[in-house]
């Protein structure tokens, strides 16, 4: 699985800690992590939480990654869920990560990198990542509800397919500077174009 990490501006100083914790938890499971920044508090390529949602949608809809880890908190979750092809949950502790993976089987998670981020925060993140990525998603919890939960996930996917336009038309209607800022990170081109699976989205990104 290809996993993207995206930090917005208020918590950019924690990028290295989050990246190292994520990579340490998922690399032994065979997953690969791509750090899309922000890389530090003084990174000149500033991302708002709204731009986190735009970038997450581009990465997931293009097939450049399979999963997005972002934060900090509910704003980023709402921004991600504003777009087609993204199902983003909020995980505060390891049980949140496990149940989101098993019940909702989404493709993005938002973590609170500010509120409650104190002593032992890196351990809490590590355990969330282990529970989130340690087993195949969508297996249900509790196990006796698996059939119902898998049916509900298919219903949700069907509703989202009807409720949203395609991403490319959305990007074309968004403010160009907003989109350009979302993909302005230092390593965007390096990571994205090496992994993009959607020719139309990839072509649209090149001039941006």
Q: What is the DSSP string of 79-129?
A: HHTTSTT--EEE-SSHHHHHHIIIII--SEEE--SSTT--TTHHHHHHHHH
Q: What is the pLDDT of residues 162-198, one digit of tens each?
A: 999 999 999 999 999 999 999 999 999 999 999 999 9
Q: What is the pLDDT at residue 180? A: 96
Note every long-range contact of 25-31, with CB atoms under 8 Å and residues 24 or more positions apart, other chains counting. 25/125, 25/126, 25/129, 25/130, 25/133, 26/1, 26/129, 26/133, 29/133, 29/134, 30/1, 31/1, 31/2, 31/3, 31/133
Please state, for a pLDDT cut of 90, what percent of the chain lies above it.
94
What 3-state DSSP class applies to 2?
A: strand
137 pLDDT above the threshold of 80: yes
Give the residue extent of every domain in the chain: 2-205
The greatest distance separating any two alpha carbons of the chain, rounded to the nearest whole angstrom, comes to: 50
For 3, phi then psi, to 5°, come to -120, 130
Confidence category of residue 33, pLDDT binned at 50, 70, 90: very high
What 3-state DSSP class applies to 165?
A: coil
pTM of this structure: 0.96
CA 208 to chain CA centroid, nearest Å = 21
CA distances from 27 to 2, 36, 67, 102 (A): 10, 17, 14, 20
| CATH among 3.40.1400.10, 3.40.50.1100, 3.60.150.10, 1.10.3720.10 for 2-205 | 3.40.1400.10
Q: What is the pLDDT of residues 83-133, one digit of tens each?
A: 999 999 999 999 999 999 999 999 999 999 999 999 999 999 999 999 999
Q: Is 139 left (phi over 0), alpha (psi -120 to 50) or beta?
A: alpha
Confidence category of residue 207, pLDDT binned at 50, 70, 90: confident
72 pLDDT above the threshold of 90: no
Asked if 186 contacts 45 with a C-beta cutoff of 8 angstroms, the reply is yes
Instruction: Give the H or E element holding residue 176.
Output: helix 176-182
Asked if 197 contacts 61 with a C-beta cutoff of 8 angstroms, the reply is no
Instruction: Give the H or E element holding residue 68.
Output: strand 67-71
Q: Rounded distance, CA 58 to CA 23, Å?
A: 22
Please state, for a pLDDT cut of 70, what percent of the chain lies above it.
100
């Amino acid at each position: 699985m290809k996993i993207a990490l995206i930090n917005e501006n208020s918590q950019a100083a924690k990028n290295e800690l989050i990246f190292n914790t994520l990579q340490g938890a998922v690399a032994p499971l065979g997953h690969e992590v791509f750090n899309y920044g922000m890389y530090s508090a003084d990174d000149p390529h500033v991302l708002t939480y709204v731009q986190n949602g735009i970038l997450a949608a581009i990465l997931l809809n293009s097939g450049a990654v399979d999963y997005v880890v972002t934060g900090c908190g509910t704003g980023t979750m709402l921004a991600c869920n504003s777009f087609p092809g993204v199902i983003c949950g909020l995980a505060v502790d390891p049980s949140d990560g496990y149940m989101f993976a098993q019940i909702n089987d989404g493709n993005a998670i938002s973590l609170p990198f500010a509120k409650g981020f104190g002593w032992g925060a890196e351990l809490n993140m590590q355990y969330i990542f282990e529970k989130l990525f340690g087993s195949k998603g969508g297996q249900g919890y509790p196990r006796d509800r698996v059939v119902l939960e898998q049916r509900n996930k298919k219903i949700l996917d069907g509703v989202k397919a009807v409720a949203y336009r395609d991403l490319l038309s959305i990007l074309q209607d968004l403010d160009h500077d907003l989109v350009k800022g979302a993909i302005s990170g230092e390593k965007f081109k390096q990571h994205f174009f090496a992994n993009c699976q959607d020719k139309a989205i990839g072509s649209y990104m090149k001039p941006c």
